[in-house]
Amino acid sequence: MTSVATFLMPVVGTGRNFPYYPDGSRVVGIDLSVAMLERAKRRRDKLGTTVELREMNVLEMDFPDDSFDSVVSTFLFCVLEPEHQQPALEEIRRICRPGGMIHILEYDISENPVQRFVMQLWAPWVRFAYGAEFDRKTEQYLEPAGLELVETTFLYKDIIKLLSVRPK
């Protein structure tokens, strides 16, 4: 085990998560979007954090196997097409050390009839504006990708969920 905790953020976006990582840890954020990396860089500099930012595709990361203690994915899988779900999870598993944890924050379509109806109304706009889907059901790809679901926790109603996963 490393003496410094290491975290990877695939699809760092604007860097809104930067304040939540422990001081003294090594944090790396990747994104395909140069524009998002620029926004994340401005946030990093404003906060004074030491986050390494790299332009990279989550499907083809150039990190060695077992590079990170933890991987924190925030709304990545809701924007990946179904055919990219398992390959992305396999790549994340590859770079997460044995015994490490993978945290996946995602949307889920609500079981509440009113909330479900509203989400279905919003779905075309969300798809157009963000390329996101509410109902990717990332869990179905975990086992084939060599990952074990440890826990599912809903953080906002039954709409935003946190999947805690580890490599098998």
Three-state SS for 7-19 is: EEEECCCCCCCHH
Domain for residue 157, yes or no?
Answer: yes
pLDDT digits (tens, 9 = 90+) for 88-102: 999 999 999 999 999
The span from the CA of 68 to the CA of 31, in Å, is 17
Domain for residue 162, yes or no?
Answer: yes
What domain range is 32 assigned to?
6-167
Domain for residue 143, yes or no?
Answer: yes
> How much is the pLDDT for 3?
60
> How much is the pLDDT for 1?
45
- Encoded tokens for 38: 């620029």
Reported pTM: 0.92
Domain for residue 1, yes or no?
Answer: no
Are 65 and 94 contacting, i.e. CB atoms less than 8 angstroms apart?
Answer: yes
pLDDT digits (tens, 9 = 90+) for 33-52: 999 999 999 999 999 999 99
Q: In CATH, what number is assigned to the domain containing residue 82?
A: 3.40.50.150
Number of domains in the chain: 1
The span from the CA of 155 to the CA of 9, in Å, is 19
Q: How confident is the model at residue 66 (pLDDT cuts 50, 70, 90)?
A: very high
